[in-house]
Amino acid sequence: MKTRRTQQERTATTTKGLVGAARVHFARDGYAAASLDAICAQASITKGALYHHFRNKQTLFHAVYAAEQHRLRDAIADAFRACPDPWDGLRAGQRAFLTGSIEPGTQRITLLDAPGALGWAVMREVQADCRAMTRRGLEQAVGTVVYGGEDAVPAVELDAMASVVFGALCECAMAVAHAPDPDAVLAASLRQVDRLVAALPGAPVGRAG
């Protein structure tokens, strides 16, 4: 016998469908030009149903932006876990973030449209997971013991490292998005990210790209 879905399950399915349809239109047309009517048609729901789940176009875009950041967070984590050495994992995670950020759809949503549609304060809040992932990678690579010990790196120093590294990654991604030659800027950015990692406390000699 077929089990009836709960209201929560139906809501989750509808929301997922809306976010997926909205992602297509925001990535292709941009925030300003994307049509809610077209999004609803693709998701096979009424506009009234959309407004039941999302207050307006901005809140729907917020959900799409958050989904993109979660995908980048997972890419960082997967790249880090694939490397036995935490220093290699740190570099791999940073490369995954940079290369993932410049996928055309992600680039348009997260780098070109989000600053105007959401504002920097909201963006920073949503980016917190990616920054936290960067911090955890740094903690493992630097060998930090934040609870004490003679060689411990204080948590405040680790937080500062995370700000420097993640800030550099975000700025590099933005530079690539606005560059006349994105491929050249990406290649240069990846080289500089490797050098930044090589300059961190405890980094093995000869790891810079």
pLDDT at position 207: 52
Helix axes 182-198, 86-101, angle to 10 degrees: 160
pLDDT at position 201: 80
- Phi, psi for 61 (deg, rounded to 5): -65, -40
Type of residue found at 36: L
Could you write out the DSSP letters of every residue in 178-191?
A: T-SSHHHHHHHHHH
Domain ranges of the chain: 1-54, 57-198
Domains 1-54 and 57-198 alike in fold: no
Please determine, looking at this structure, whether the domain spanning 1-54 carries the CATH number 3.30.200.210.
no
Three-class DSSP category at 157: helix
Measured CA to CA, the distance from residue 150 to residue 190 in angstroms comes to: 34
CATH topology for the 57-198 domain: Tetracycline Repressor; domain 2 (1.10.357)
Measured CA to CA, the distance from residue 64 to residue 66 in angstroms comes to: 5
pLDDT one digit per residue (tens) for the chain, 209 residues: 455 678 788 888 889 999 999 999 999 999 999 999 999 999 999 999 999 999 999 999 999 999 999 999 999 999 999 999 999 999 999 999 999 988 999 999 999 999 999 999 999 999 998 898 888 888 888 865 444 455 567 788 888 989 999 999 999 999 998 999 999 999 999 999 999 988 888 788 655 54
Within 10 angstroms of residue 78's Cβ, the number of other Cβ atoms is: 12
Give this prediction's pTM.
0.86
Place of tokens 């979660």: 70
pLDDT at position 1: 45
196 token code pair: 């930044």
